[in-house]
Amino acid sequence: MPDKKTLERAEQDKREGKSPGTQAGEFVREEMDHIREGKHGARSTKQAIAIGLSKARRAGVKLPPPKQGAASAETRRRAKSDSASASKSRNPSRTRSRATSQALKREGRSAASPTALSRHAKAVARKRTPSQRSAAGRKAAQTRKRTA
């Protein structure tokens, strides 16, 4: 279950008209904090991000599943089911929940380190074309708050 603060921040982002990706970023941030605190670990930065996105979908963030070819069919199916489970308020299976927690506790904590995050960001950026990166930069500049 996400922290109350995280849900509030995501709700604030939604009110401000920010994209679902930005709203989901709050959940990813929370996940990184959990790993840094030692609550649990993750096998990779990619897994840590995926856990955060899954939590966001379950919390009701309208985040679409990854496009075909961008992720495996299994991942896309899981994302669709996470989004669908947002409306239902069923309690998760205790046994399954504990098994997941125990498995994550055995994983390393370096997935949320600044070095790992930087490496991941650069790898993801390399997959994008220069024009896509430039467009993202222009869009970011427009949303930046002006200080007069």
pLDDT tier, 141 (very low <50, low <70, confident <90, very high otherwise): confident
With a cut of 70, say whether residue 28 has pLDDT above it: yes
Per-residue tokens: 15: 């009110």
Task: Report helix angle 45-58 to 20-37, nearest 10.
Answer: 120
| Cα–Cα distance measured from residue 46 to residue 18, given in angstroms and rounded to the nearest whole number | 23
Selected residue with higher pLDDT from 17 and 148? 17
| Residue 65 identity (one-letter amino acid) | P
Domain boundaries, the chain: 4-142
**pTM for this predicted structure:** 0.85
Task: State pLDDT tens for residues 85-107.
Answer: 877 767 778 999 999 999 999 99
